């Protein structure tokens, strides 16, 4: 085995869904891992793992300079991943942009050779289907999380070039499956809502389901084979509506007696979302649906051409039906997450 792969890797956001599954995969491959988390108290997900856990926050450059000492490959997973906040510019956009700058400048200062930067399918242009990397960036600027992923990825490439670091960007879809811990991520939470019968209407929103273990493998392959300066989609070719996902859940778990949400006119979707947003402002809890979700995502097809990832990285994701089946089974056997 080539000895270079034995060099130390840092995974940031290592107690998140992708971060933790990536740590597990790298350890299985015999790679020494340092895992960084924002809150050092959140260590439950490492208890059976032989890795070093350190505190580092993307808003604090010095913490990353320390965490990145002697690191060869940096998997930049940590980011604010939420689609709703009371002040989205400050809580999502500014955190992610500043976090990108802080971590890449810290990596340069620490002498890191290679960065796998976790971007998102949010940073793609959906005006031509199937969407591919070369279509460029998303022209839809209505969402601060989406904006942070588009602008953050551009900034990452620019900083890597300035500092002479090899940087490869990966763009995951809606990750489910693998090991999961409470609170569930945004994507897994959709399955939780389905199983708890909390999706009242057909929103015509699609998700591109992908197994988090396949994404973790894609991140590792990007570190090994990805071309610096390139971006790679880590998702499935086809998306699935939330309603079709509910039909699968109904098929796999007839005993739950799940109802298929009915279609309603778009103005009704806006009305329902509007009410949910008002109550969210009062409670401070994210709404299940926002008017922006309807405007941006209702009817949006998230189908991808993943030939670049398949051909250059050897990325080979399991199909979305199988992914949903396994993720639902995981939730059904881990009832505490529901």
Those residues whose C-beta lies under 8 Å from the C-beta of residue 265, and which sit 6 or more positions away, are none
List, in sequence order, every beta strand (DSSP E) within the chain.
9-11, 33-37, 52-55, 73-76, 114-118, 166-172, 174-176, 201-202, 206-207, 209-211, 231-234, 240-241, 262-263
8 Å CB contact between 97 and 155: yes
Alpha helices in 111-239 (DSSP H): 144-163, 186-195, 212-225
**What is d(CA 218, CA 305) in angstroms, rounded to the nearest whole number?**
15
The phi, psi pair for 175, rounded to 5°, reads: -85, 125
Those residues whose C-beta lies under 8 Å from the C-beta of residue 68, and which sit 6 or more positions away, are 10, 74, 106, 107, 109, 110, 112
Residue 14 CA, distance from chain mean position: 12
Q: How confident is the model at residue 96 (pLDDT cuts 50, 70, 90)?
A: very high
pLDDT tens per residue across span 289-325 = 999 999 999 999 999 999 999 999 999 999 999 999 9
Q: What is the mean predicted confidence (pLDDT) over 135-150?
A: 97
Using the CB atoms, write b or e for 143-166: b if 16+ within 10 Å.
Answer: bbbbbbbbbbbebbbebbeeeebb
**CA distances from residue 116 to 22, 165, 210 in whole angstroms, order as listed:** 12, 11, 19
pLDDT tens per residue across span 205-226 = 999 999 999 999 999 999 999 9
pLDDT tens per residue across span 167-204 = 999 999 999 999 999 999 999 999 999 999 999 899 99
Between residues 288 and 175, which one has the greater pLDDT? 175
For residue 21, pLDDT over 90 is answered with: yes
- Using N-to-C axis directions, what is the helix angle for 95-110 and 144-163, rounded to 10°? 20
pLDDT tens per residue across span 259-270 = 999 999 999 999
Q: For residue 279, is it left (φ>0), alpha (ψ between -120 and 50) or beta?
A: alpha
Q: What is the mean predicted confidence (pLDDT) over 105-123?
A: 98
Of 138, 132, 111, 165, which is closest to residue 232 (Cα–Cα)? 132
**What is d(CA 89, CA 80) in angstroms, rounded to the nearest whole number?**
12
Q: Where are the domains of the chain?
A: 3-179+209-236+302-318
8 Å CB contact between 235 and 173: yes
The residues facing 117 across adjacent strands are: 76, 169
8 Å CB contact between 31 and 6: yes
**What is d(CA 100, CA 77) in angstroms, rounded to the nearest whole number?**
10
Mean confidence (pLDDT) of the chain: 96
**What is d(CA 118, CA 330) in angstroms, rounded to the nearest whole number?**
25
- What torsion do the CA atoms of 39, 102, 49, 236 make, to the nearest 10 degrees? 110
Instruction: Report yes or no on whether pTM surpasses 0.75.
Output: yes
pLDDT tens per residue across span 22-77 = 999 999 999 999 999 999 998 899 999 999 999 999 999 999 999 999 999 999 99
CATH superfamily of 3-179+209-236+302-318: NAD(P)-binding Rossmann-like Domain (3.40.50.720)
């Amino acid at each position: 085995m080539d000895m270079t792969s034995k060099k130390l890797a840092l995974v940031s956001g290592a107690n998140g869904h992708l971060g933790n599954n990536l740590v597990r995969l790298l350890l299985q491959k015999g790679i020494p891992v340092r895992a960084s988390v924002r809150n050092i108290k959140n260590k439950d997900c490492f208890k059976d793992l032989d890795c070093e856990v350190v505190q580092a926050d993307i808003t604090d450059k010095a913490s990353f300079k320390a965490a990145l000492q002697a690191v060869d490959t940096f998997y930049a997973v940590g980011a604010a991943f939420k689609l709703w906040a009371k002040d989205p510019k400050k809580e999502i956009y500014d955190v992610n942009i500043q976090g990108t700058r802080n971590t890449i400048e810290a990596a340069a200062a620490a002498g890191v050779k290679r960065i796998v930067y976790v971007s998102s399918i949010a940073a793609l242009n959906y005006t031509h289907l199937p969407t591919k990397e070369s279509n460029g960036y998303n022209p839809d600027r209505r969402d601060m999380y989406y904006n942070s992923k588009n602008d953050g990825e551009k900034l990452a490439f620019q900083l890597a070039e300035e500092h002479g670091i090899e940087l490869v960007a990966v763009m995951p879809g809606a990750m489910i499956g693998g090991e999961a811990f409470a609170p569930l991520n945004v994507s897994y939470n959709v399955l939780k809502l389905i199983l708890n019968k909390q999706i009242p209407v057909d929103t015509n929103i699609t998700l591109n389901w992908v197994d988090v273990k396949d994404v973790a493998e894609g991140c590792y392959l990007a570190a090994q084979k990805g071309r610096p300066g390139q971006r790679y989609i880590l998702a499935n070719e086809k998306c699935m509506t939330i309603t079709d996902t509910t039909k699968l859940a109904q098929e796999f778990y007839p005993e739950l007696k799940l109802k298929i949400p009915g279609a309603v006119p778009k103005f009704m979707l806006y009305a329902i979302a509007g009410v949910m947003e008002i109550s969210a402002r009062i409670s401070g809890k994210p709404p299940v649906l926002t008017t922006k979700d309807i405007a941006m995502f209702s009817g949006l097809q998230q189908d991808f051409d993943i030939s670049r990832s398949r051909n250059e990285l050897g990325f080979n994701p399991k199909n979305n039906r199988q992914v949903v089946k396994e993720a639902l089974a995981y939730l059904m056997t881990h009832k505490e997450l529901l």
